Amino acid sequence: MPPEAKGQPVAGPTVAEALRHPVLARAELVGGRQGLSRRIAWVHVSELLDMARFLQGNELLLTTGMALAHASPGAREAYLSSLAERGIAALGIELVQWMRSLPGDFSAWADAAGIPLLVFREEVRFEAISQAICTLVLSRRTALLEALEEATRALLEGFAESGLPGFAAALERLLPGQRVAVRPGPGPEEPGLWIPLTAGEEVLGVLGLVPGEGLDEVGRLVAERAAHLLAAHLAMARAQEEARRREALERLNALLLPDLFPGPPPYHPAWMGLALGEGVEEEALWPLLGEGVEAWGWRMGGARLFLLGGRRPALERVARALEGRDGVGVGPVVDGGCGARHTLREALWRLRYGQDALGLAPLLVPDPELHLAYARARLAPLLGLPPGRRRALGETLRVLLEEGNRTRAADRLGIRRQSLYRRLALLESLLGPLTPGRPDLLLALRILTEAGEL
């Protein structure tokens, strides 16, 4: 497949332009006239019948016909078909020593494939042809690079002067007769050339040129360069916004939950969070802890937070003894240190909202900002991740909570169960145990999705 077919412009002369060069003055066009606009990317000389496997497309291929002269009709047909499939720019055959005339099917092949077929009826120096045409290719590439550099400079100056409007105005000056439009979504169904603005595998928007017709090769390259520059600008702006958001979330987390330990945390098989409100004497709680339970405490505003570490049965016994007491919030018992922040956060929520263990009280107030604050607080660790990771884990969390079954969730997501388990482990390290009874997370996901934040 030639580079042009892959969307990669070829910076070389057309076959028609090459034929005007003195070095090809003795070339005779005997077929494929409709392909004279094909561009030549390079010149190759070969007598191999399987030469196509060494080509990339858009080459001028020259041969003396040494192998063709002794090839069977089937071999010649395979040779021509492979060249057409590879997408060469033109085929030149010398009819002097090995071949004196062309089989009739050669011209028919050239017309059917739209590939110019050139013959030389007297001896020519292929080296001179290669040198001259390759010099044309390199000269044209140099001119295109210079034009692109000049266009890039103008576009960047427009950005520096007045941002996106200045960029669009500079692009319209570079491409007279084209109106520039930038859209956030996929290309609309309207006339024009619409180029996706991509960063990796993510599409950030589209750059449109209306009407999009009449662009020469330089114009198309300038449009593609503009799309690359704009995509890089949007990706950088998004990265800066994400960095600001992560910094804000880190500050929020620092206010909500301090660093639990200055160094590596002590080992306990299970952890549980406690939050005590004003008026609750913490001394009355110590006899409930029993042996083998350690406690660390912090003061935060009007609440006192405690992280209890020990064996799960001992912590569950403490939880049952404290459940329902006024001014006390009890977080779930979690296995391993990765859930320590989660159980502390849950204890604080339960202290604030009493028996509303899921903290759904803010949703009873018809205040969208309060709803957003609720959702951001519930999913703060998830929101701090990069956009691609955040969306993938958010979708995994939503499907898992909706299905309530890991096998069905993996099937619905189209991933292996091992991949789901890895995502689940990461989600639980961020949000705590994902039991079916977590409608708070599902509600938070829907709130943030409707707000366009997830």
Residue where a domain terminates, one of 357, 378, 404: 357
Domain enclosing residue 200, as ranges: 148-250
Q: How many domains does the chain have?
A: 4
Same domain, 118 and 17: yes
pLDDT at 23: 92
Over residues 328-353, mean pLDDT: 76
Average model confidence (pLDDT) for the chain?
A: 82
Same domain, 346 and 366: no
pLDDT at 82: 95
- Please provide the DSSP assignment of 109-141 as one string: HHHHHT--EEEESS---HHHHHHHHHHHHHHHH
Residue 132 lies in a domain: no
| Cα 298 from Cα 449, distance rounded (Å) | 34
Same domain, 105 and 12: yes
pLDDT at 369: 67
Burial class for 190, CB neighbours closer than 10 Å (0-12, 13-18, 19+): exposed
Residue 152 lies in a domain: yes
Quickly count helices (H) and strands (E) in the chain.
Answer: 15, 13
Residue 265 has pLDDT above 70, yes or no: no
Poorest-pLDDT segment among 182-186, 226-230, 370-374, 410-414: 370-374
Residue where a domain terminates, one of 357, 376, 401: 357
Same domain, 21 and 68: yes
Residue 142 lies in a domain: no
Same domain, 374 and 352: no
Poorest-pLDDT segment among 28-32, 121-125, 213-217, 248-252: 248-252
Over residues 332-339, mean pLDDT: 75
Same domain, 114 and 95: yes
Residue 435 lies in a domain: yes
Burial class for 160, CB neighbours closer than 10 Å (0-12, 13-18, 19+): exposed
Same domain, 42 and 54: yes
> What would the pLDDT profile of 115-140 be if each residue is shown by its tens digit?
999 999 999 999 999 999 999 888 88
Same domain, 164 and 97: no
Same domain, 120 and 13: yes
Same domain, 353 and 369: no
At 321, is the pLDDT very low, low, confident or very high (cuts 50, 70, 90)? confident
pLDDT at 8: 46
Quote the percentage of the chain above a pLDDT of 70: 84
Residue where a domain terminates, one of 288, 322, 357: 357
CATH number where 32 lies: 3.40.1390.20
Same domain, 79 and 29: yes
Poorest-pLDDT segment among 83-92, 123-132, 296-305, 385-394: 296-305
Under 8 Å between Cβ of 257 and 347 = no
Over residues 367-376, mean pLDDT: 68
> What would the pLDDT profile of 84-96 be if each residue is shown by its tens digit?
999 999 999 999 9
N residues, the chain? 454
Same domain, 390 and 352: no
